[in-house]
Chain A
Amino acid sequence: MKIIEIENLDHRFADGTLGLKNINLTIEEGTFVVIAGPNGSGKSTLLRHLNGLLLPTTGMVRVAGIPVPENLTIARQMVGMAFQDADSQIVGETVSDDVAFGPENLCLDRREVNRRVARALDLVNLVKLKNQKPHLLSGGEKRRLAIAGILAMEPKVLVFDEPFSSLDYPGIKQVLEQIVSLHQTGHTILVAAHDLEKVMAHTDRLVIMNHGKVVKDGSPDQLIGDLETFGIRQPCAYRLGGEVQSWLN
């Protein structure tokens, strides 16, 4: 089933700059897609169209067949987004308050809110820190909290914008483990990244963007040789003639 359909999408910013040019993309449910590209290539702009944070200047984005601009609440419930800067995403004064923020916005019954909070904290292994103040968490824990905040809304698609930026090695492993396990439980995963080292071994499909356009779209094996043409560094193992390994091994 097609979970995301993007047709002839253009986005022009308020200052007149064209951020996205004629994007056509279809994403199947349950796939793990990496959107790669250098800084300013339009990755984040594209992702923000998936839940209506930005609306198309022309073209159409559909999530599960529903046009995003027609029902923003459904789009935002179905497409959970983890931003690059987790600190700016966390709004609660405690870990559990933050996870409850989304379900409360959906006006769910208090018992259902509590059930979803408990489940989401359990999934990201933060139950013990539920009363902790978010600013005292480590980088990896903050990123996992941001993921829990999204999971509590029970989305079908999870979008990660540069999920490994400014994380140490244990933090990267924690977040990667989380993303892979969410993919294994049937979620559709979209990761925007300029560094493919950590995700290359797990992705089904690679979409390369440059100057606001999709320039390549295919399997990682097909495209790995072309990466450096578009300003994306090839994974280290490939450069050394080896096979790309998972960071979880």
Chain B
Amino acid sequence: MAELTVFGFRQGTSLLHRLDVRFKLIFLVLISLSSLRAQVAGLFLLTLILVLALIHVRVSLGSILRDLRYVSLLLVFIFVTRALSTSGSALFEFKIISVTREGLHAGALVCWRLVIVIITGLAFVLTTRPSEIKGAVAWMLRPFPFVPGKRIATMMGLIVRFMPVIFQQTKETLDAQRARGVENRKNPVYRLVKLGIPVLRRTFERADKLAFAMEARCYSENRTDPRLASGIKDWIALFAVVFLCAITIM
């Protein structure tokens, strides 16, 4: 589980790697919002551009599909729910269950839009260093009074850093309990409590050690900011993305 690394930065020199992270964040929002309004033709265009972008950053599409296999369960769930809950002309009926043409269409559209949002996010994190994302978040929160932008950015970074460690810790605890026959206990609440308490205890202990380690390295919110720089290529890319989004929702 510690290998949950599909959503992680990969070194590269592509155009997407070189764009300013603040612009990329704006692209992420624009593309995600326009995909929510787009119909089949617009979604097709967005998908095509995103697949080309992923090929451009030299990521294997096969490995992405493999790593995103768990998301497909969520997509299937959403598709089935929409197919069964949307009224319209029935294609298949069995007792109270009715699958409609409109339901299938709506389910497929929702799933397609979700896939586009996920792939856009993936292209963003694959091509952006986590420290730059933190810097951009702190920069974007700067105008808001009473919002501790730097603290929020640091917490985001720590979550990204420690998620795999906590997953690994959970797996180790689960394995240790399996080795002592926890699977013979059929009560899921009992098993959840027996797993949850030690994992939480170890997580809090680790958080304590982390706080000590950060203090030892002079942690302060007043730190050197990451270098964020935009240029003409970022503005051209922004123009292109706005144009693309406008086409997709027309």
Interface residues of A (CB under 8 A from B): 48, 51, 53, 73, 76-77, 80-81, 83, 85, 87-94, 97, 100-110, 113, 131, 133-136, 149-150, 153
Contacts and interface: CB of A to CB of B under 8 A. Distances in A.
Interface stretch (B40-48, B161-169, B176-184): B161-169
Interface stretch (B72-80, B96-104, B114-122, B219-227): B219-227
Given A92-B161, A135-B164, A97 B223 contact: no
B171 to A, nearest CB: 13
A189 B88 CA distance: 77
B127 to A, nearest CB: 13
Contacts of B130: 93-94, 97
B206 interface: yes
Contacts of B193: none
A154 B77 CA distance: 54
B131 interface: yes
A135 B168 contact: yes
Contacts of B157: 91-93, 97
Nearest to A81: B216
B209 interface: yes
B9 interface: yes
Contacts of A100: 131
B216 A93 contact: no
B217 A107 contact: no
B212 A76 contact: no
Report, nearest first, the 4 A-B pairs whose CB atoms are least far apart: A93-B130, A88-B209, A89-B213, A102-B217
Nearest to B212: A53
A155 B114 CA distance: 50
A94 B161 CA distance: 8
Nearest to B130: A93
B160 A93 contact: yes
Report the interface size class on chain B. Answer: 20 to 34
A234 to B, nearest CB: 31
B8 A105 contact: no
B214 interface: yes
B140 interface: no
A92 B224 contact: no
Contacts of B164: 133, 135
B146 to A, nearest CB: 23
Given A100-B131, A103-B224, A113-B224, A93 B218 contact: no
B11 interface: yes
A92 B217 contact: no
B216 A76 contact: yes
B158 interface: yes
Q: Which of B8, B11, B206, B215 has the most CB of A within 10 A?
A: B215
B170 to A, nearest CB: 14
B52 interface: no
Interface in B204-250: 206, 209-210, 212-220, 222-224, 226-227
B222 A107 contact: yes
A105 B210 contact: no
B167 to A, nearest CB: 9
A100 B222 CA distance: 14
B224 A109 contact: yes
Contacts of A150: 217
A129 to B, nearest CB: 11
A92 to B, nearest CB: 7
B2 A135 contact: yes
B186 to A, nearest CB: 34
A244 B157 CA distance: 45
Nearest to B224: A104
B80 to A, nearest CB: 35
A7 B155 CA distance: 39
Contacts of B8: 133
B161 A91 contact: yes
Given A97-B130, A103-B224, A104-B223, A134 B218 contact: no
A107 B223 contact: yes
B216 A51 contact: yes
27 contacts: A48-B212, A76-B218, A77-B218, A81-B216, A83-B209, A85-B206, A85-B209, A88-B206, A89-B209, A89-B213, A90-B161, A91-B217, A92-B157, A93-B157, A93-B160, A93-B161, A94-B130, A97-B129, A97-B130, A97-B131, A103-B224, A104-B223, A105-B220, A110-B226, A133-B5, A133-B8, A135-B161
A94 B129 contact: yes
